[in-house]
């Protein structure tokens, strides 16, 4: 199916929460800008790219609230189900690793909320906050190229894909155009196909198009296995039968957890007052001359100003 590109992203008519996967954007910035060093020779490419991308997103999307979530280890339950979960991922390059704390400090100095909890994954926190915001009647925009987030798309929850040059919000039509299935079928689609990025094996011989065709015909994984005999291809039928345990496990692996407890209150995610002098010092140290020039002259801080809610 074809999807008409949006001419512009509409202005928010109420609270709009922008949710950002911190590690994904830091990695994207690190590999997009291959070499950038501070005056003292420290790597700054991820810092610079992250700042530019986030500020551009904020200008484009005009969120009233913002949260950056970070990975803080793997979910033990997923590792217990599949010991090889994400085991194929290379270790974080040291020049990137040393930039994470500086990016997080920049967020604090800008008055932007960020959040992580040991033993949890950013994706689950982002899903949790998307559902919390939807329950309150807010609009949510998930900034990510990760296909896992397509399962969350519904009225009030959209995707902003950094790889989409059209700079549009993805709703159900865009998800279906990309995958061949509707958002509520994405978990089953991924369960059949698997996810090489997360080292999750799918059913042998079942690629994205075949999985989409099966779900169009049988609606979900339960329907496929209840009516397995209706599949004409003996090879496909046998592959699905032999992989049933893996497919059922995969459903639990790829389904995002949207009801985690804790974290900052939604109302506290309004960007706070920037710490201009702290930003000025960081931009000098990093050698970001253009950002330094854009800073406004320092203003006196009113007594009792808490500088926003920072995490």
DSSP H helical segments within the chain, as ranges? 22-32, 45-61, 76-81, 94-97, 100-110, 122-135, 172-179, 186-193, 208-218, 221-226, 234-242, 244-254, 276-286, 289-294
CATH number of 183-254: 1.10.150.20
Mean pLDDT of residues grouped by 10 in the chain (311 residues)? 53 96 96 95 98 96 98 93 93 96 98 96 98 97 95 97 88 96 98 95 96 98 97 95 97 96 96 96 97 80 44 35
The pLDDT assigned to 307 comes to 38
Q: Where are the domains of the chain?
A: 16-171+258-294, 183-254
The pLDDT assigned to 291 comes to 97
The pLDDT assigned to 151 comes to 98
The pLDDT assigned to 304 comes to 47
The one-character DSSP state at 87 is T
- Nearest alpha-carbon partner for 47 in 104, 7, 6: 104
> 125 and 260 in contact (C-beta within 8 Å)?
yes
The pLDDT assigned to 7 comes to 40
Tens-digit pLDDT profile for residues 230-287: 999 999 999 999 999 999 999 999 999 999 999 999 999 999 999 999 999 999 999 9
Task: Examine domains 16-171+258-294 and 183-254 and report if their fold is the same.
Answer: no
pTM, to two decimals = 0.90
The pLDDT assigned to 166 comes to 86
The pLDDT assigned to 310 comes to 35
- Domain 16-171+258-294, what fold? Rossmann fold (3.40.50)
Pairing relationship of beta strands 194-195 and 157-160 according to DSSP bridges: unpaired
- Nearest alpha-carbon partner for 50 in 61, 41, 58: 58
């Amino acid at each position: 199916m074809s999807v008409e590109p949006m001419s512009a992203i509409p202005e928010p008519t109420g609270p709009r929460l922008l949710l950002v996967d911190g590690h994904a954007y830091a990695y994207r910035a690190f590999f997009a800008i291959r070499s950038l060093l501070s005056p003292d020779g420290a790597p700054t490419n991820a810092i610079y790219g992250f700042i530019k991308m986030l500020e551009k997103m904020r200008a484009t999307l005009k969120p009233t609230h913002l949260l950056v979530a970070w990975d803080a280890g793997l979910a033990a339950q997923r590792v217990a189900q599949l010991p090889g979960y994400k085991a194929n991922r290379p270790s974080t390059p040291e020049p990137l690793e040393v930039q994470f704390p500086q990016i997080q400090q920049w967020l604090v100095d800008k008055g932007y909320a960020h959040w992580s909890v040991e033993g949890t994954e950013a994706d689950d926190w982002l899903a949790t906050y998307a559902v919390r915001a939807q329950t309150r009647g807010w609009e949510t925009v998930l900034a990510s190229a990760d296909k896992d987030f397509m399962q969350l798309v519904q009225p009030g929850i959209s995707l902003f894909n950094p790889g989409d040059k059209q700079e549009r919000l993805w709703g159900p039509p865009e998800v279906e155009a990309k995958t061949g299935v509707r958002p509520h079928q994405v978990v089953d689609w991924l369960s059949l196909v698997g996810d090489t990025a997360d080292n999750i094996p799918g059913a042998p011989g079942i690629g994205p198009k075949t999985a989409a065709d099966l779900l169009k015909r049988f609606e979900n994984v339960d329907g496929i296995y209840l009516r397995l005999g209706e599949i004409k291809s003996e090879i496909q039928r046998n592959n699905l039968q032999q992989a049933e345990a893996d497919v059922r496990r995969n459903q639990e692996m790829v389904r995002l957890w949207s009801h985690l407890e804790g974290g900052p209150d939604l109302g506290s995610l309004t960007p706070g007052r920037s710490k201009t002098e702290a930003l000025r010092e960081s931009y000098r140290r990093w050698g970001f001359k253009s950002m330094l020039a854009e800073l406004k002259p320092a203003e006196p801080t009113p007594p009792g100003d808490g500088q926003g809610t920072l995490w």
